[in-house]
Amino acid sequence: MASRLGISRTAVWKCLKQLEELGYAFERRKGAGYRLMFTPDRLYPWEIERFLETACIGRELVYRDSVDSTNALAFRLALEGCKEGTCVVAESQVAGRGRLERQWHSPHGKNLYVSVVLRPQVSPARIYPLSFISSLAAFDTLKAAGVEPRLKWPNDVLVNGRKICGTLIELSVEADTVRFAIIGIGLNINMKRIDMDPALRERATSLLVETKNFFERPRICGILLGSLEKYYETARQKGMEEMGRLWEERAGVKGAYMEIRQMNRVYRGISEGIDRDGAMLLNENGVVTRVIAGDVVV
């Protein structure tokens, strides 16, 4: 190793020592060298990079064992001018943010909490369909993991009727330009029922619960970031509205009866799909309403 890397044996030993501190284990054989015996279940950037085939998204990876919120840290980095595609991943969040001011329960070392900084060249009026790229990417990732996901408007992904993934987009807008967008994704991977927030246990699920298998989180993260880049590229080439079209197609919502709850009102009607600005079109007894936020309850 020393001669191949052009460093001293002591330097090799020091590197291995550092890796041991991070949870790796090696077998040492005098005269023969070292053998990797154990790789910790961590989202270290170099572990994710093994599964990364992207040109931009995830090429800068910021890792934290614990963070307030990956979205909040990504937002701070974006304000400081970080590159497009920078990702923040964390083992746990102490103030994970959900939609509509909710919290996102984020136990340590079980799931994926990732936020990506994007700098799309699009006006604030056109940006909304960008929010679909995260659920589309999660949808493809979950399919690759062997489960049957379903999309729930606006940004959830379910498996067997239970939420497995939530996504949150946050924007920095200045006059008529989008300075940056933070795409945050929470994907439940190796969380057992007991690890779930008791209030949500009946409505949440994870890859482990669905398949009884543990998943390599860096691999899932690599697939997810690859998929995000693919959709982001499509949005750049074909326009943001293409994300709404793809989402509508995958979700199969057109013609379905829906009830969408907002703070002070419930919309009930037949979905006519997603319009070019990303709003849900609901036909309520012949009157078509554009709904841009809320919770689908039916």
Q: Which residues bind ligand BTN (CB under 6 A)?
A: 69-71, 93, 96-99, 102, 104, 113-115, 156, 166-168, 184-186
Please, which residue, 69 or 269, has the CB nearer to ligand BTN? 69
Q: How far is the CB of 39 from ligand BTN (least distance, A)?
A: 24
Residue number closest to ligand BTN, CB atom? 166
Cβ-based neighbour number of residue 98 at 10 Å: 15
Q: How far is the CB of 154 from ligand BTN (least distance, A)?
A: 9
Q: How far is the CB of 69 from ligand BTN (least distance, A)?
A: 3
Half-sphere exposure of 14 (CA within 13 A, CB side): 5
Q: How far is the CB of 266 from ligand BTN (least distance, A)?
A: 19
Q: Say if residue 101 is exposed, middle or buried (CB neighbours under 10 Å; 0-12, 13-18, 19+).
A: exposed
Q: How far is the CB of 170 from ligand BTN (least distance, A)?
A: 9
- 258-262 contacts, C-beta under 8 A, 24 or more apart: 258/153, 258/282, 258/296, 258/298, 259/296, 259/297, 259/298, 260/153, 260/291, 260/294, 260/295, 260/296, 260/297, 261/294, 261/295, 261/296, 261/297, 262/291, 262/293, 262/294
Strands (E), 16-161: 25-29, 33-38, 61-67, 87-93, 112-118, 149-152, 156-159
Q: How far is the CB of 251 from ligand BTN (least distance, A)?
A: 16
- The answer to whether 279 touches 244, Cβ cutoff 8 Å, is no
Please, which residue, 134 or 269, has the CB nearer to ligand BTN? 134
- How far is the C-alpha of 293 from the C-alpha of 277, rounded, in Å? 12
Q: Say if residue 84 is exposed, middle or buried (CB neighbours under 10 Å; 0-12, 13-18, 19+).
A: middle
H-type alpha helices, 101-177:
132-144
Q: How far is the CB of 105 from ligand BTN (least distance, A)?
A: 9
- How far is the C-alpha of 85 from the C-alpha of 119, rounded, in Å? 8
Please, which residue, 99 or 110, has the CB nearer to ligand BTN? 99
Please, which residue, 97 or 110, has the CB nearer to ligand BTN? 97
Q: How far is the CB of 18 from ligand BTN (least distance, A)?
A: 28
